[in-house]
Structure 1
Amino acid sequence: MGTNEDTADARTALLVRDAMDRATAELPALMDLAGPARAQGRRRKARVRVAVGAGVLAVATLGAVTASMLPGSGRQAPVEVVVAAPPSSSAPPQPLHIEPTPGESSMADLPAAERARQVNFQDQAVDVLQSLLPPTVGTVQRTDLRVNFYRATKDGTAFPLIFSVRPSGEKPQPCQEIRGRVCAKATLPGGIEAHASTIPTGTVTETEVSFRYGTCNVRLSVFPDEAANASAPVTPAQLLDVVKAPAFLDLVKAAEAQPMEQEQRSIPGG
């Protein structure tokens, strides 16, 4: 004995067949045409049968789905599936243009391959810094002046930012709490000691962290917006958290392996 579902399917099939037969029966009889004309007539009739069948099948399917949602139908209600729209692709962020001073070079003066390498590093650095710096710093943007020069902007206030991985034969000097400077330090992975500080500059302050990695001195500095009389919106402890992060240290490792800055040399008597 068939189930209710089999009976419903059989009724649907009969409904489709009957609708197609009634629709095609209303077409005018085909004349005794020869060749392409006869074939065209057959195709016309077939198209009508397919179109009517598809319409009836859609109505029957809608009825079946509606019935399955009614109480006592014995069928499970369909699950709504929401397909998310694909994310829109955005163009890479444009650098902040800074006009070099007379006699000063910029990234535009580099060979094309080296400029592309440095731009690629800057783009990676922007992503890492944006994800690690506190929201108070704002939006981080690279510049086209030097590979180590960036800017962060928050509510119209601009904070210059230096991220430098520079080869040097000398280690950076540890922080000393003199002239209003406030120091903090932390141990990074691998036993590296990092020193951070706030540095007074008039009525505002700069925040900086530095450490030695391999053959390079690493420095991350957030400067104040002196025109707006706004200090760097980040604390030494927050910068120490940034430089501890694996993503930041991966950037440092890459820049130390293939330096992009000229070696720092001390000036005798300077």
Structure 2
Amino acid sequence: MDDVTMLRRAMDRTADELPPLPDLAPVAVRLGHRRRARARFAVAGGVFGTATAAVLGVSLFPGGSAGVAVPAAPPAAFPSAYHPPVEVRPTPGQPAPEEVPAAEAERRDEFQQQVSALLDELLPVSVTEVRPVAGAVSDYRITAGGTVFPVKLSVRPAPGESLPVCADVPAKRTTCETAVLGGGRTAHVYGTAVNRAETLGAMVVTRYGQSQALLSVDPAATASAPVTPGQLLAVVRDPRFTELLEYADEHPVQRKGAPVLGG
């Protein structure tokens, strides 16, 4: 698969079919919540919240056998409020969501909660809502200026794969820069037009261990993503984000070779 095809598959989703997110708090209230969360994080440091420290028990991966232990939960980003999942109707013609045992579904939900909490902390304050998509471990929705934007965090097992070639494609308003991360790792940082020449999205692709990781923010139908490629790179550079990648690499939340809708 060439680089442009990979990029388009990661970022070609439009917000036309997204349902509105109910019960959104006013911006001023949400910003207050975010500032208090930052203050709690400064005091709490790396202390785990009660919910994230709780043991979820044993579950089976699809195709696994009895007695295979799955970690209780991903690392806690910081003590945070619950982020209610949003329900999104499946797109006609797309594969049905993967069915997993209840304990495994709970573990994936907890992973999404930790990702949501960290994105809520690290994304610009103009982002006033972060919510996971129910039953889709790699999908999230953020709200900025009253508009909903799709976010994807895909961490899939990909042993032996390398990062795609990083190159600008002026005809598609696509730029790519290579950034150096800690531990000798690198990332490709993309900005590109999606759906229309006027609507821009951002994406960072990197590797951790044996996994390929992709974090992207797509534009809405008539608005560019509220996060720049540089701001998205700042999220990927954060040590807590690296901890989540480490967890997902050691204890995958996506199957090897599983299709990732939109990426």
- Name the TM-score class by shorter chain: 0.5 to 0.7
Q: Look up the SS of the partner of 1:190 in the other structure.
A: helix
Say whether the 8 Å CA contact 1:183–1:236 is kept in structure 2: no
Counterpart residue number, 1:121:
111
Counterpart residue number, 2:235:
242
Counterpart residue number, 2:86:
96
Larger radius of gyration, structure 1 or 2?
1
Say whether the 8 Å CA contact 1:181–1:198 is kept in structure 2: yes
Unaligned runs of 5+ in 1: 1-89
Say whether the 8 Å CA contact 1:196–1:209 is kept in structure 2: yes
Q: Would you tell me which structure has more helix in proportion to its own residues?
A: 1
Q: Look up the SS of the partner of 1:153 in the other structure.
A: strand
Indicate yes or no: 2:145 matched with 1:155.
yes
Name the CA distance, whole Å, in 2 between partners of 1:100 and 1:218: 23
Residue by residue over 1:10-51, the C-alpha shift from the partner in whole angstroms, topping out at 9 and shown as x without a partner, is: xxxxxxxxxxxxxxxxxxxxxxxxxxxxxxxxxxxxxxxxxx
Indicate yes or no: 2:168 matched with 1:173.
no
Unaligned runs of 5+ in 2: 1-79
1:265–1:141 distance in 2 versus 1, CA, 3 Å: closer
Q: Look up the SS of the partner of 1:138 in the other structure.
A: strand
Counterpart residue number, 1:207:
202
Name the CA distance, whole Å, in 2 between partners of 1:231 and 1:104: 28
Counterpart residue number, 2:219:
224
Residue by residue over 1:96-136, the C-alpha shift from the partner in whole angstroms, topping out at 9 and shown as x without a partner, is: 001224563236x3210110000010001111111111123
Q: Look up the SS of the partner of 2:150 in the other structure.
A: strand
Q: Residues 1-270 of structure 1: matches in 2 within 5 Å? A: 92-101=82-91, 104-106=95-97, 109-169=99-159, 170-178=161-169, 179-201=172-194, 202=196, 203-226=198-221, 229-264=222-257
Say whether the 8 Å CA contact 2:151–2:217 is kept in structure 1: yes
TM-score normalised by the chain length of structure 2: 0.62
Percent identical residues: 38
Counterpart residue number, 2:51:
none
Q: Look up the SS of the partner of 1:119 in the other structure.
A: helix
Q: Which has the higher contact order (CA 8 A, sep 6+)?
A: 2
Q: Look up the SS of the partner of 2:126 in the other structure.
A: helix
Could you tell me how far 1:200 is from its partner in structure 2? 0.9
Say whether the 8 Å CA contact 1:210–1:220 is kept in structure 2: yes
1:116–1:235 distance in 2 versus 1, CA, 3 Å: same
RMSD: 2.2
Name the CA distance, whole Å, in 2 between partners of 1:91 and 1:167: 30
